[in-house]
Structure 1
Amino acid sequence: MNENVPNHVAIIMDGNGRWAQNRGLKRTKGHQKGAEVLKKISEYVYDKKIKVLSVFAFSTENWKRDKEEIDYLMKLFIKAFKGNFNVIKEKGVKVVFSGLKNKLSKKVIDTMDKMQEETKNNKNGIFNICLNYGGQDEIIEATKKISALVKDNKIDVKDIDKELFSKNLFNDLPPIDLLIRTSGEYRISNFMLWQMAYAELYFTDTLWPDFNEEEFDKALDAFNKRERRFGGVKK
């Protein structure tokens, strides 16, 4: 395959619960398997010289789930972050988190802060973990920051442009080139709305715990077959 490797890949990791239920298991077993898959896929992504990987770990809407499942997920996040951290760190990848810290426990926040601090100078890539995240919330928070700058006379309204707005998001990341969503759902679920303006969308029926390197390559193959015109016309 003649690859044009995307710079920024984002993944909505969907289907953990259904994977478990299809096997007569508790939903938490699906999340555990999903965390193992994320470890393998994240390593594979950086081995392919993709610079930025964003993953949707937990949305602001996920708080509606049962408390038992949420408590398990929060413990799993800490365990998975620590388990995957050394490999990511060795690859020289910078870890960042996007989302709101309210509702997150001190243990989760401390783990996030430690990972960000220890990798802040890494230059080989970025691993963006979206936790307690919503795309609309991100845009609102950026708007609040910019409004405060205008109010304090630090900038003028005419200074507001796409570059300034991007710098005031949770993290100033490059545009998403390829979005992958697993489990057969055909929607973007309030994920990285600003960054996804010109992303190529790839949907697969494969549930996240069954996703593997071969499935990832299928997404890359589909990406390479598309012509990206960014509003222009085919020449």
Structure 2
Amino acid sequence: MRVARERRVARERAGDGKRTRSSAQSSARWRARVEASERPNVDADASAAIIEATSTHPVSQTTSYSFARSGFSAECERALNAQINVEYNVSYIYHAMWAFFERDNVALKGFADHFKAEALEERSHAEQLMEYVNLRGGRVELQQLLPPQTEYDHPEKGCALYALELSLSLEKLNNDKLCELHRVAEDAGDAHMCDFLEGAMMDPQVQSVREVAEMVATLLRMGPPGDGMAAWHFDQYLQNKA
């Protein structure tokens, strides 16, 4: 009885092995048929063209390579990153000026609100440039910001005139930097970058220079430099304007 049972178990195991091998062979034949049916019918010339195209334009698997980059020079990329730093530094200074005029012992809310708006505007310009760098397939590289001064009172000019003249200098500096950036784009033959700068950046910047220049002229007409009442009246003008 024991011998018969062992023989029966051996026959069952042998049958299972045959079925497993048969199933594996069938599965392999099925995969081969599927792969053959899905394989595109490409002639030799087309295959050679595909191989050449993929070898000429390799696809990187890392984030260091941009799929969208086209006609965007490294020099333009560096110049745009430098301008982003300029915009953020100017915004940083305007933030400090806003905090100064918001103090309880300065109490010129119109000036505070004006410089806060200027700070946000300069930051938005930096973000526009960052978006453009990404649009062109570049890499944004933020740089260190310089700490701005905290005091804006001047013994002769007073805080109002001193701050506006500083603002005018910053706007002119920004305009000069944008012109330099435009020249870099021109030298690189980057028509799209030139168009972007002219439409989105340079025209608003020229308008800002003119606006601040008129503010300086208006304040000087209200009274001599350092006149506290002139600063107060101009502050009221800024509050009403807002």
Interval of TM-score (by shorter of Structure 1 and Structure 2): under 0.3
Q: Which has the higher strand share?
A: 1
Q: Which has the higher helix share?
A: 2
Tell which structure's C-alpha radius of gyration is larger.
2
Tell me which of the two structures has the higher relative contact order, counting C-alpha pairs closer than 8 angstroms and 6 or more residues apart. 1
Give the TM-score taking structure 2 as reference length: 0.27
Give the TM-score taking structure 1 as reference length: 0.27
